[in-house]
Amino acid sequence: MRFLLGIRVIQPLIINLACGIGITINGPVKTKKPSPLRLLPKGDKGIFLHRYHLDKPGDYPQPFDNGIDMIILDSVSKCFGAVTAVDNVSYTIQKGESFALLGPNGAGKTTIVRMLLDFIKPSSGSITINGLLASDPESRKHIGYVAEQHMIPPYLPGFEYLLRHASLIGLSRKAAEKEVDRVLEMVSMKGQEKKKSAAYSRGMKQRIGLGAALLGQPKLLILDEPVTGLDPIGIRDVRKILENLHDKGVTVILNSHLLSEVEKTCETAAIMYKGKILVKDTINSILKDHETLEDVFFRYIEHEIE
């Protein structure tokens, strides 16, 4: 669904319901409306089959508090025919780090995100998440993912869309409703949740999508252009959400072209160009006197172009 993907283990009954939606969460399928899962690319569907069941909504799963780096890319390359999209990339992201992946279009940023989520496989090298290979479904149990462009079935109100997401991560109806109310408040969509998504603006859909990724309180949040379509108030709201998550120890990977927001939100950044990492360091370390992150970005990219 993504629209938006969060990721934890589902029971077979929930899987069956997801493919026939209509539902009482723990009861029989009532209708045969087309499933939102059918609107997804093939690789995106699989992410829903690996979500973590939280006994208490809002609790953070403990397996992440194990001293292991959250993400390690070791000599990772990805080729599409003769095109090398990612070229021998290595870096580490620690738990609780707010990390920005920057670069012009075609730099390889989204390819890295898709490899992290196991939508595609590296041509060489390895990727681990919390000590597990990215190809292992267990590695995706605690991930929330926001794609740059996602779809919500037009006949679904935002509340129902989120409720179905909550059922896929194993929450009871009562717990799911409570969790959906929590994320609706976080993304400032209370009062709009009963409207069908066909009436939503692009920014409103983006807010609902972010809410879906936040269900169950993931420990790793991967955001691909999360403020696309948002007005300045919405952009500020997302920044505050990310700051709050950082305070709670959530690891954030942010792929964005809005460099001014990245500078306010993230601690570390990597700049990519033509599949290679040009620099990865703390943002404060790569800024020179009176520079902004935008200045640094153009300094590195223009040097490569020359």
How does pLDDT run across 103-147, given as a tens digit for each residue? 999 999 999 999 999 999 999 999 999 999 999 998 888 899 988
Q: Is the pLDDT of residue 20 over 70?
A: no
Contact 107, 300 (CB under 8 A): no
| 196 conformational bin, left if phi > 0, alpha if psi -120 to 50, beta if neither | beta
What pLDDT is stored for residue 17 in this prediction?
32
Cα diameter, the chain: 64
Whole-model pTM?
0.76
Q: Which of 5-14, 192-201, 236-245 has the lowest mean pLDDT?
A: 5-14
Across 39-48, 93-102, 191-200, which has the greatest mean pLDDT?
A: 93-102
pLDDT tens digit sequence for 239-274? 888 898 899 899 999 998 889 889 999 999 999 999
